[in-house]
């Protein structure tokens, strides 16, 4: 994971949309993203790999969607990842994949996060500019 600077947290049902955004990020910024594409075999191995990947990333990107509505916030892995990243004081970026509202628990715990609507070209462009600065990337797109 030496070169994977952005950790991507997402719900599996959003995989196609997320993989497309990851490709855009990697192409535009010239950095690798850490994405659990294939799944991790055991729960212990999963937790260990997730923690290590978050520890080593520069930016934690949380992909929020309607799949987060009505979840059990104490048991959901994406929320666990987000909480771990928050506790490790990682730079957290919230990306909305659709029009799903942020539920009360999410607003209470993470409501201070600004978000980017992935479908809005202007917001996406500002996010890429902000990430360039945060990651120390000079120049334009690759």
> Domain range for residue 10?
4-135
Residue 142 in domain: no
Residue 72 in domain: yes
The answer to whether the CB of 7 falls within 8 A of the CB of 59 is: yes
The CATH number of whichever domain residue 103 belongs to comes to 3.40.50.10140
Residue 10 in domain: yes
Residue 137's pLDDT is 92
Q: Into how many domains does the chain fold?
A: 1
Residue 140 in domain: no
Residue-wise pLDDT tens digits, 53-79: 999 999 999 999 999 999 998 899 999
Residue 38 in domain: yes
Residue 39 in domain: yes
For the segment 112-132, the average pLDDT, to the nearest whole number, is 93
Under the banding of pLDDT at 50, 70 and 90, the label for residue 45 is confident
Judge residue 63's burial from the number of C-beta atoms within 10 Å of its C-beta, 0-12 exposed, 13-18 middle, 19 or more buried. buried
Under the banding of pLDDT at 50, 70 and 90, the label for residue 28 is very high
pLDDT at 41 over 90: no
């Amino acid at each position: 994971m030496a070169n994977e600077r952005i950790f991507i947290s997402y719900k599996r049902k959003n995989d196609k949309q997320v993989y497309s955004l990851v490709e855009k990020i990697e192409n535009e910024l010239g950095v690798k993203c850490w994405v659990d594409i294939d799944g991790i075999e055991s729960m212990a191995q999963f937790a260990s790999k997730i923690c290590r990947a978050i520890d080593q990333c520069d930016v934690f990107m949380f992909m929020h969607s309607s799949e987060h509505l009505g979840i059990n916030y104490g048991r959901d892995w994406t929320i666990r990842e987000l909480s771990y990243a928050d506790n490790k004081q990682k730079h957290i970026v919230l990306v909305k994949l659709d029009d799903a509202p942020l539920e009360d628990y999410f607003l209470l715990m993470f409501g201070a996060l600004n978000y980017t609507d992935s479908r809005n070209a202007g917001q996406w462009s500002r996010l890429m500019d902000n990430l360039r600065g945060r990651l120390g990337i000079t120049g334009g797109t690759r």
